[in-house]
A = this chain, B = another copy of it.
Amino acid sequence: MNKKPPTSARPKSKRLSPEDRRQEFIRKATEFFADEGFNGGTRELARRLGVTQPLLYRYFPSKDDLIEEVYKKVYLEPLESGWEKRLMDRSRPIRERLCEFYNAYTDAIFTRIWLRIYLFSGLKGLEINRAYVNVVRDKILTRIVRECRAAADLPAQKPTAAELEMAWVFHGGIFYYGIRKYIYEASVLEDKDKMIADAVDVYLASFTRIAEPRRLSRRSDRLQLAGED
């Protein structure tokens, strides 16, 4: 919608292109709804934008349409980085790949805004949230399990339910770090990279134990624990 071909050569942007204005509204609306929840009023939102409330309805047919735009922006943003390729680059150690992936992924989603929008929409049970969870499972976790199996010289196969569950617990442990920091606003270990590296080490170290219980004695390399018979 680059409406006006300016008579002069350069784009004499006086006001702001309608589409740019719209995008700015979406961006600030994302911040607003992240703070206030989707029950936040359009008047308060307009006040933050520095405009009057009815103007919103020039750019969006209804509040729900605006919210829809917020959803799309938030959910698609972290997915449009090409992290899939690097996770499957078997020329590099699996540990390095996992650490790099989760460092990048959490750099994208560990923000107050993203996590809050994500949880707000999750509590509404929206389809886009279900879809995102499926993407995490299919595009991230199953690939992680597959790569771990390959790295451990286990035969390639569809991840078992238990393997997938362990990957979810691993993933959820990391994810919960973001929730603690940006939702609960609790103090966390400052060194996020170390947290991820430790979590990856723990997951990798135990991978075969869960995936292939018969390959190792389940207790052979576990701690010797007081009272264990």
- Cross-chain contact A91 with B223 (CB below 8 angstroms): no
Interface presence of A185 (CB below 8 A): yes
- Cross-chain contact B189 with A205 (CB below 8 angstroms): no
Interface presence of A122 (CB below 8 A): yes
- Cross-chain contact A172 with B177 (CB below 8 angstroms): yes
Across the interface, A223 reaches (CB within 8 A) one of B152, B168, B179, namely: B152
CA distance A188 to B91 in the complex (A): 32
CA distance A164 to B180 in the complex (A): 13
**A20-43 vs B: 1/0 string, CB under 8 Å?**
000000000000000001010000
Inter-chain contacts of A173 with B (CB < 8 A)? 168-173, 176
Q: How many residues of A contact B (CB 8 A)?
A: 71
- Cross-chain contact B201 with A222 (CB below 8 angstroms): yes
Inter-chain contacts of A116 with B (CB < 8 A)? 123
Interface presence of A72 (CB below 8 A): no
Interface presence of A104 (CB below 8 A): no
Interface presence of A12 (CB below 8 A): no
Interface presence of A64 (CB below 8 A): no
CA distance A37 to B38 in the complex (A): 11
- Cross-chain contact A228 with B195 (CB below 8 angstroms): no
- Cross-chain contact A176 with B168 (CB below 8 angstroms): yes
Across the interface, A205 reaches (CB within 8 A) one of B92, B95, B168, B222, namely: B222
- Cross-chain contact A123 with B37 (CB below 8 angstroms): yes
Interface presence of A204 (CB below 8 A): yes
- Cross-chain contact B165 with A169 (CB below 8 angstroms): no
Shortest CB-to-CB span from A211 to chain B, Å, is 10
- Cross-chain contact B184 with A198 (CB below 8 angstroms): no
- Cross-chain contact B119 with A226 (CB below 8 angstroms): no
Interface presence of A221 (CB below 8 A): yes
Interface presence of A82 (CB below 8 A): no
- Cross-chain contact B162 with A189 (CB below 8 angstroms): yes
Given contacts A165-B189, A170-B173, A172-B175, 9 further A-B contacts (CB under 8 A): A37-B123, A93-B225, A137-B186, A151-B226, A152-B223, A165-B177, A172-B176, A172-B180, A205-B221
